[in-house]
Amino acid sequence: MKKVMPIVAVALIFVACKNSTSKNTHADHMVTVAADTATIAVDKSKGDTALNKEETAGVSNTAAKIESSTEKVDLKTVSNPFAGLYSAYFELKDALVKDNGAAAQTAAKGTQAAIEKLDSRQLNAVQGKLWKEYQRKLAFDTEHIAGIKENEHQREHFVTLSKNMYVLMKSVKPEVTVYYQHCPMYRDGKGANWLSTQKKIENPYLGQSMPTCGSIVETIQ
């Protein structure tokens, strides 16, 4: 299973927000599949390999199976029933970072569509119970964000949307590493969290006024 590694948050002060740009860097995340190599023993006395044609064919079949297994790992997004929902959420986050209310509306509608499209029959018992509990909560916030163009009201609903998405991502891990990030200044210092696929802070609550304000508080992988 994937592990969740908590990361100590930086001090919730304005100076920390200003310095966060230099402390955050982009990181690429790759899934690496390790496969055992097949070794062919060589009979030096005969100068031929110890494998006959049938054994050689067997090695080829093994390699093919390894390649097939690798493809399944790379295509994990297809098998993850929440992949579409996660993707739509990240698009919504990006729109709020840019202070683009219209784009946020569009992304929220995409999130709504992902919620409606999700087939609960693909979920196991634990996931199904979780989805039953959070489906309406997610739909409520995305509906409100999709129905308004004003950023501040959108962000109010994005706070609770992010809280609920966090619970889902902790239970059903995304196909990439996700960073749970915190803005200490939003709502007059009350703060708020969001999820991102990037280490670099791009704040959806303060937008372009203070885009790098915040810190990573947890890594989901």
pLDDT in tens, 123-171: 999 999 999 999 999 999 999 999 999 999 999 999 999 999 999 999 9
Is the domain of 98 the same as that of 181?
Answer: no
Instruction: Classify residue 123: in a domain, yes or no.
Output: yes
Helical ranges in the chain per DSSP H: 14-23, 53-74, 76-79, 83-97, 101-117, 125-147, 151-171, 186-189
Instruction: Tell me phi and psi for residue 99, to 5 degrees.
Output: 60, 30
Is the domain of 73 the same as that of 168?
Answer: yes
What per-residue confidence (pLDDT) applies to 35? 37
Instruction: Classify residue 33: in a domain, yes or no.
Output: no
Is the domain of 169 the same as that of 183?
Answer: no
Residues 6+ apart with CB under 8 A from 214: 17, 20, 181, 182, 183, 184, 201, 203
Instruction: Tell me phi and psi for residue 75, to 5 degrees.
Output: -100, 30
Is the domain of 71 the same as that of 165?
Answer: yes
Is the domain of 18 the same as that of 63?
Answer: no
What is the Cα 215 distance to its own chain's centre? 17
Instruction: Classify residue 2: in a domain, yes or no.
Output: yes
On whether the CB atoms of residues 210 and 185 are closer than 8 A, the answer is: yes
On average, the pLDDT of the chain sits at: 76
What is the Cα 191 distance to its own chain's centre? 22
Q: Report which of residues 106 and 30 the model is more confident about.
A: 106
Is the domain of 111 the same as that of 186?
Answer: no
Instruction: Classify residue 87: in a domain, yes or no.
Output: yes
Residues 6+ apart with CB under 8 A from 166: 180, 193, 195
Is the domain of 158 the same as that of 206?
Answer: no
Q: Give me the percent of the chain exceeding a pLDDT of 70.
A: 64
Is the domain of 121 the same as that of 191?
Answer: no
On whether the CB atoms of residues 169 and 127 are closer than 8 A, the answer is: no
pLDDT tens digits for range 160-206? 999 999 999 999 999 999 999 999 999 999 999 999 999 999 999 99
Is the domain of 68 the same as that of 127?
Answer: yes
Instruction: Classify residue 162: in a domain, yes or no.
Output: yes
Confidence class for position 122, pLDDT limits 50, 70, 90: confident
Count structural domains, the chain.
Answer: 2
Instruction: Classify residue 69: in a domain, yes or no.
Output: yes
Is the domain of 210 the same as that of 162?
Answer: no
Q: Report which of residues 47 and 143 the model is more confident about.
A: 143
Domain boundary among 157, 173, 189: 173
Is the domain of 167 the same as that of 67?
Answer: yes
CATH number of the domain to which 91 belongs: 1.20.120
Helix (H, G, I), strand (E, B) or coil at 215: strand
Q: What's the whole-number mean pLDDT along residues 100-109?
A: 98
Is the domain of 137 the same as that of 204?
Answer: no
| DSSP summary character for residue 121 | G
Instruction: Classify residue 92: in a domain, yes or no.
Output: yes
Question: Residue 203 sits in which domain range?
Answer: 1-27+177-221
pTM of the model: 0.66
Instruction: Classify residue 53: in a domain, yes or no.
Output: no
Domain boundary among 173, 194, 212: 173
